[in-house]
Amino acid sequence: MWRQYSLSLFLLGVLAQDFEWTALGDSYASGVGSGEYVDGRRCLRYDQAYPSLLNEDPNLSPLNHIYNNVACSGSTTEEVELYQFYDEDTSNQPNWQFSPRPKFGNPQMATLSIGGNDIDFKGILFNCILETTEFGRNPTKPCDQQRQDTHALIDDPQLVNDIDHLIRKIVTKGRSGSIGDAFRLYVTGFPEFFNDDDPGCDSVTFARTANPVPDGKQHIMMTTDLRKDYNSMSRALNIAIQSAVALNADSNVKFIDIQANGLLDGHRFCEPGIKEPDQNNENLWSFHYPYKQNEDQNPSPELQIVINATNQITGGLDISALGVTFPNISVFEDALWDVVNVTEVAAVSSDPVNDEWWDMWRDTVGWRAKLFHPQVPYHSAIRELVLNQFLEDTRPATKGNGTCVPVGGTFDPQMLRILPLGGSITWGQQSPSGNGYRKYLRDKLISNGANVNMVGTIQHGTMGDNDNEGWPGFRVDQISDRANNDLSMLPNLVLINAGTNDVAQDYEIDNIDQTMEDLVNKLLDNIPGTVIIVSTLLVNRNATKQALTEQVNPTYVNLVEKLATQGKLVYLADMSSITTEMINARDGTHPTDLAVPGLNDSDILGTSTTCEVNAANFPSPVQIQKGSGVNDSNYHHIGHPYGLLDIHSLPYNGVNFEVENAMWADLNGDGIDDFVYVLSPGHFGIALNDGTGSKGFSDYTESHSDVEMDDCDTEGLHFGDLDGDGRADVLCLASDGTLSAYINTNIGVDLFTNPFWISLGVILPGQGYSRDMVRLADIDGDGRIDYLGLDADGNAHGWRNVGTSQTTPTWEDMGVVISGGTMGDINGVRFVDINGDDTDFPKYDAQGADYTTVYNTGPATPVNDDTTFFPVRLLGNSGYGGARTKGDGVHYCDMRGSGTDDYVWIGKTGNLTLYANNHMLPAWGQYGHILIGTESLMSGYVRKDIHLADLDGDGKCDFLLVDKESNSIHMLRNDYSRETDTFSFTDMGIVSGGVHCHEHYGTGLFDLSVRFADLDGDGKADLLCISQNGTVTGWLNSGLNNFQSAGLIKSTEGKDRANLRFADINGDVRVTPQNNVRNS
């Protein structure tokens, strides 16, 4: 029967060209507010909703995805049935809220989010939490009445009936397609929004103070009792959904529980330590209503966007007088909202209601529309849960009894991870080379096209790849214990030769088959998909031992047959062809080298034995990580004026100053750009900037360099950090694009009386771009200036600066890094770090670039004798977002002592989110937050200071904070309990006694001065101190606060230390340094 099933799956795979699926439901499926808007003003579908994230995941299916997103905000069960089952595109439907949308399609799978609108949770938001409805009007009913009504809707059996009816309709329509009964449906639940066991929110309201207070009463506070009640509504709704799903369990319908395993802990409203309401806290997984901070003069960044957009619509009218100050979620969620409301909103604008108007209006009310909807991290978690369930449900069953590939056959280029497991025969005893059968087998496999890696914790024999798990003298039960060491190595082929020592000791021979079965099942349970070959025992020259051998071998044959019948990938290697003459005459047990070809050719891969070695059991590389975590959203610009630059002591009040000679550069390395006026190359006027605003500048003072800069003219002179030390160097571009440099070596001395420039001469010959087509900017975020050449089409060809401190840099050709086409006038192209991510991106003057400074070139009159005739207007950038990516928080470390690395995402505030490695990648176990980075813990630290390493040698990675200046280590010991499967951390304080590392990390994310790795193989992470040029010194961890110098570990190769990694590449449990090429 299984052969027919496998053939059907194969034919389906051959014939299928696409994987089609459909997303149905309400705003929790449409993704209100998450990412970018994708369908105009209709159903509030966003591109970071969990269905969209799921569709983008290649692990969902290797086939081309056809994604039918018919979800629509505000939908009830009735409305889903009415509007989300069309068999054709509904773009021209007269009801604008429910179009356009693709047809239901011919899906193999569907997802559904439903129920929140059926219980009028929207009424809870308006009447109890916001205390306002459309356009700032009073609540429609008292909160107590609303709560009572919502509970009544949940308790009404009709809710389960309605959801059940909808599920059955989806299943019926899905099964009517080409997939038939294999159609699957995943129904997602709802979150409990509040932490309800902490009193911190008892005196907090979510209502904006400008909202009308019902009947002159006080606003409703989020008391513990209310929060418990609101959470009980979510729990009861989930129970109703689960009940409806259970009625359809036989139809491949599954419930996805976001509440499982405490996944939302730390991400709800009113979490301890969070002042509410606080929409700026990245831990929150639901959006929050924008609010005013203190007073109108100090709006939050989010509210500032609302204010700006509202002013753009209304021309600055006080729309509060018109009663439309605070339109809220109902504007979008209410399916019955009609053109009357649109007209009312439009009354505040002189423009007609059109798509452009809607885009602006959405910017203002979009914040309200997102209230209590999931942010992207929540959608990512749902995506993960749905995908893991789908992968588990569709994982093909593995069956045995196919045909093995004989040693003489040809292999596909698959990687065989072979574990030789057994006693002294596996180890190679009595073999002159110590290799036993292992080298002959490996050589034969490789000669026939296989990629082979032998694995195991023991290295024995003259062969290079001599890993194995052979233990001389060990019985089957003892070998089983040692096999625990190999589970994390994930072999996909295990060769077991065990039992000879049981025979020699006459140890429980009657139970040896059960002991062997326990060993085999342990391997199969912990390494899904591996192939196991069990050999019979070799002939023995001793008559007594041979009699026992003849008793054991039939039990092994029967065992393998039983396991194979159960569909397990277990096969037999019959050793009966090995004769007595091939056994060592001295000990009567071990084979001679004469037996090796027979062991391999005739038996180990069994040309006479049938088995199935499926390609799935020899996997090629797969994607293991699908993209979790959070970024800081898109960049939002907020500008504010600092006023006119006020620098005293300018010669002649700056009357003769030229705009093109005024520059900005951080000369003293304090992270703030200073004012520099180029009088001539090497002769600069300087006013240091303390960062406090237009008046925060020192007196203007001239500085003369004692280094001639004759190769530099003013037109080609630039400032930029060449060596990544934080101080601006002088860069000279010749007319042909040749680049010369003068290094700024000033450290804590007077900038004006001490010369501090060192000439490096030419550091990069011209690359075929004239000076006017060259830009100097840091495009990779490593703190060092790079070289870019622009062509007439606006394409930017980049050369990355990979040099080290005070040495001529090495340049890496990066090819075209930015494609042109929309740049307009090339002369207007500049590269600036506008979003604070340490990476420069192009901005175009002709298209409204933001200037840090604006120079007024017309005549000016001084206010007094000390004020400049050279007025410079400073504009501040208080924008936010766009600086952090999801990948910034990705780390891998063994957090549970399992022997394999887990995936740990570190948030910017120090929170650890764990995705456990359960050997079922790309599906990861969901643990949620395992550590919260409290304000007191993270005071003085940033995410870059966090390291994960096993400092105490217990097999579990600890949480380490390394001080940037002193490199002291603050340790939180990982006390994970395997018994309870829970995490706790103990603060061990500073544990770095004995360490003397005086390096400091640089600008880039990976430009670290300290890393941790096990140098001596004792199981404890040692400290590696890395200088900027890649020189590594080591400090051995002899226990907490007992680090011992290991001296020089690695000399410099002139490579970028940001690319330096340490890993155990040969299995000796000691790390080896590796240089990674950034763009390989």
Give the pLDDT confidence of 420-433 residue by residue, as tens digits.
999 988 988 888 78
* 219-to-286, 324, 490, 952 alpha-carbon distances in Å: 22, 20, 59, 52
| pLDDT above 90: residue 824 | no
CB 746 within 8 A of CB 665: no
Judged by DSSP in three states, 374 sits in: strand
Phi/psi of residue 764, nearest 5 degrees:
-155, 115
CB 201 within 8 A of CB 227: yes
| pLDDT above 60: residue 1061 | yes
Phi/psi of residue 800, nearest 5 degrees:
-85, 135
Question: For the whole prediction, is pTM greater than 0.85?
Answer: no
Q: Residue 640's CB: how many other CB atoms inside 10 A?
A: 10
Return all residues near 147 (Cβ < 8 A) that are at least 6 apart. Answer: 124, 128, 229
Phi/psi of residue 268, nearest 5 degrees:
-95, 170
Q: Which two tokens stand for residue 4?
A: 């027919």
Cα separation, 370 vs 352, whole angstroms:
26
Q: Residue 745's CB: how many other CB atoms inside 10 A?
A: 16
29-33, 771-775, 848-852, 998-1002: range with lowest mean pLDDT: 848-852
Q: Which two tokens stand for residue 680?
A: 């001539």
> What is the reported pLDDT for 894?
94
> What is the reported pLDDT for 660?
81
Mean pLDDT of the chain, nearest integer? 75
Cα separation, 598 vs 578, whole angstroms:
7
Phi/psi of residue 1051, nearest 5 degrees:
-80, 160
Q: Which amino acid is it at 1051?
A: S
In the chain, where the domains are located: 18-394, 415-613, 654-877, 886-1075
CATH fold match for the domains 18-394 and 415-613? yes
123-137, 560-574, 789-803, 912-926: range with lowest mean pLDDT: 123-137
Mean pLDDT calculated for residue range 38-42: 62
> What is the reported pLDDT for 580?
78
> What is the reported pLDDT for 654?
65
Q: Identify the CA nearest to 116 among candidates 153, 169, 141.
A: 153
Per CATH, the number for 18-394 is 3.40.50.1110
Q: What is the pLDDT of residues 955-973, one digit of tens each?
A: 999 999 999 888 999 999 9
Chain centroid to Cα 246, Å, comes to 34
66 class by beta-carbon count within 10 Å (0-12 exposed, 13-18 middle, 19+ buried): middle
> What is the reported pLDDT for 804?
59
> What is the reported pLDDT for 873?
73
71-80, 757-766, 994-1003: range with lowest mean pLDDT: 994-1003
> What is the reported pLDDT for 627?
60
| pLDDT above 80: residue 500 | yes
Q: What is the CA radius of gyration of the chain?
A: 35
* 556-to-470, 561, 574 alpha-carbon distances in Å: 19, 9, 10
Annotate 696-728 with b (16+ C-beta within 10 A) or e (fewer): bbbebeebebeeebeebeeebbbbbbbbbbbbb
347-351, 596-600, 699-703: range with lowest mean pLDDT: 347-351
Q: What is the pLDDT of residues 477-496, one digit of tens each?
A: 999 999 998 888 888 889 99
More confident residue, 308 or 293: 308
Cα separation, 916 vs 926, whole angstroms:
6
Q: What percent of the chain has pLDDT over 70?
A: 70
Q: What is the pLDDT of residues 361-377, one digit of tens each?
A: 444 444 444 567 888 88
Q: Which residues pair with 719 in a beta bridge?
A: 730
Ramachandran category for residue 355: left, alpha or beta (phi over 0 → left; psi -120 to 50 → alpha): alpha
More confident residue, 524 or 352: 524
Cα separation, 854 vs 30, whole angstroms:
44
CB 536 within 8 A of CB 576: yes
- DSSP-derived letter for residue 327 is -
Q: Which amino acid is it at 751?
A: L
More confident residue, 188 or 457: 188
494 class by beta-carbon count within 10 Å (0-12 exposed, 13-18 middle, 19+ buried): buried
| pLDDT above 70: residue 616 | no
Q: Identify the CA nearest to 724 among candidates 1030, 946, 995.
A: 1030
> What is the reported pLDDT for 10?
26
SS3 sequence of 886-901: HHHHEEEECCCCCCCC
397-406, 799-808, 930-939: range with highest mean pLDDT:
930-939
Q: Residue written as tokens 């096969």? A: 571
Q: Which two tokens stand for residue 471?
A: 């233990």
Q: Which two tokens stand for residue 925?
A: 């176990």
- DSSP-derived letter for residue 319 is G
Residue 927 pLDDT level (bands cut at 50, 70, 90): confident
Q: What is the pLDDT of residues 550-586, one digit of tens each?
A: 999 999 999 998 998 888 888 888 888 777 777 876 7
| pLDDT above 90: residue 186 | yes
> What is the reported pLDDT for 9?
27
Residue 21 pLDDT level (bands cut at 50, 70, 90): very high
More confident residue, 7 or 30: 30
> What is the reported pLDDT for 325?
31
Q: Identify the CA nearest to 914 among candidates 922, 923, 925.
A: 925
Mean pLDDT calculated for residue range 414-423: 84
> What is the reported pLDDT for 337?
28
215-219, 350-354, 654-658: range with lowest mean pLDDT: 350-354
| pLDDT above 70: residue 272 | yes
Q: Residue 1031's CB: how many other CB atoms inside 10 A?
A: 17
Q: Which amino acid is it at 917?
A: N
Judged by DSSP in three states, 255 sits in: strand
For the chain, helix (H) and strand (E) counts, in that order, are 21, 43
Cα separation, 157 vs 1064, whole angstroms:
60
**Helix boundaries (H) for 16-106:** 27-30, 50-56, 77-83
669-683, 824-838, 880-894: range with lowest mean pLDDT: 824-838
More confident residue, 355 or 36: 36
Cα separation, 919 vs 942, whole angstroms:
32
> What is the reported pLDDT for 925?
79
Cα separation, 631 vs 79, whole angstroms:
34
Return all residues near 1045 (Cβ < 8 A) that are at least 6 apart. Answer: 994, 996, 1033, 1034, 1035, 1036
* Sequence-ordered strand ranges (E) for 645-720: 662-665, 674-680, 683-687, 701-704, 717-720
- CA atoms within 13 A of residue 134's CA, in its CB half-sphere: 13
> What is the reported pLDDT for 399?
37
Mean pLDDT calculated for residue range 454-469: 88
- CA atoms within 13 A of residue 918's CA, in its CB half-sphere: 13
Answer whether the bond into residue 62 is a cis peptide, omega within 30°: no
Q: What is the pLDDT of residues 619-639, one digit of tens each?
A: 445 566 666 566 655 666 666
Cα separation, 784 vs 743, whole angstroms:
12
| pLDDT above 60: residue 901 | yes
748 class by beta-carbon count within 10 Å (0-12 exposed, 13-18 middle, 19+ buried): exposed
More confident residue, 266 or 104: 104
CB 116 within 8 A of CB 28: yes
Q: Which CATH superfamily is domain 415-613 in?
A: SGNH hydrolase (3.40.50.1110)
> What is the reported pLDDT for 133?
59
User: Would you say the C-alpha torsion 242, 243, 244, 248 has a positive or negative sign?
Assistant: positive
Q: Identify the CA nearest to 589 among candidates 625, 548, 559.
A: 548
Q: What DSSP assignment string belongs to 532-566?
A: EEEEPPPP-SSHHHHHHHHHHHHHHHHHHHHHHHT
Return all residues near 942 (Cβ < 8 A) that are at least 6 apart. Answer: 908
| pLDDT above 70: residue 817 | yes
Cα separation, 138 vs 326, whole angstroms:
12
| pLDDT above 90: residue 187 | yes
> What is the reported pLDDT for 123?
87
Mean pLDDT calculated for residue range 390-408: 53
| pLDDT above 90: residue 655 | no
| pLDDT above 50: residue 995 | yes
Residue 38 pLDDT level (bands cut at 50, 70, 90): confident
| pLDDT above 50: residue 302 | no
CB 741 within 8 A of CB 757: no
Q: Which two tokens stand for residue 357?
A: 């108007």
Cα–Cα–Cα angle for 761, 762, 768, rounded to 5 degrees: 165
Q: What percent of the chain has pLDDT over 90?
A: 26
| pLDDT above 80: residue 137 | no
CB 446 within 8 A of CB 516: no
CB 1054 within 8 A of CB 804: yes
CB 782 within 8 A of CB 1003: yes
191-205, 899-913, 995-1009: range with highest mean pLDDT:
899-913
